[in-house]
Structure 1
């Protein structure tokens, strides 16, 4: 039996719903949470599924704008807090999989190091 490095569709759905994956898929988890497109995937996974239940407000009798306003009163803060807690979520998911939570900041640290080197070159310190 070969060791899988990518999740099956069933494993992926379980992962999206908060489940953990086997250790053999650790590299995939790190790439999913910190790689290119990670922020987009995170936002889509949280913000798209809640639209269906929010549409139930449109069934309340009254003008359309009232149902839309009630939806907006819940959806706009959700967007704000989803963005604000993105790094907390990433760190939590990495820790859940037994990985170092500091991996969530790898790209930020690399950018800071590049900026620092450029700064030192500009000011004659390198």
Structure 2
């Protein structure tokens, strides 16, 4: 039997909850954390599951805006800190899977290298 390169449903749920995947799925982990759509997946995994419990504030007696305000007081800082810690989280997940944390910003380094090469071509250094 060959080893899987993508996680099963149970493995994916455990992965989303913070667990690790087998070494055979390292490429999948790298694509998940650094590939196209990685930021969107990260934000969805953090921001969507917390929304239903926050909706319980809408059941607080009083005007609807009061419950919505209490939700906002918790949800807006969550959004802010989730975005602010995205890079740290991705690096930590890579380390947890035994991968190089520098992979978290490889696309930015490639983009900077391309910008540098274009600059040098424009200004006669290339």
Task: Please give the residue correspondences for 1:1-126 in structure 2 after superposition, counting only pairs within 5 Å.
Answer: 1-126=1-126
Deviation >3 Å, runs of 4+: none
Unaligned runs of 5+ in 2: none
In the alignment, the residues of structure 2 paired with residue 46 and residue 103 of structure 1 have an alpha-carbon distance, to the nearest angstrom, of 21
Secondary structure of the residue aligned to 1:4 is coil
C-alpha offsets along residues 44-75 of structure 1, whole Å, 9 cap, x if unaligned? Answer: 00000000110110111000000000000110
> Cα offset for 1:122?
1.0
The TM-score, its normalising length taken from structure 2, stands at 0.99
The TM-score, its normalising length taken from structure 1, stands at 0.99
In the alignment, the residues of structure 2 paired with residue 60 and residue 84 of structure 1 have an alpha-carbon distance, to the nearest angstrom, of 31
C-alpha offsets along residues 56-98 of structure 1, whole Å, 9 cap, x if unaligned? Answer: 1011100000000000011011111100100000000000000
Unaligned runs of 5+ in 1: none
Kindly tell me the number of residue pairs found equivalent between the two proteins.
Answer: 126
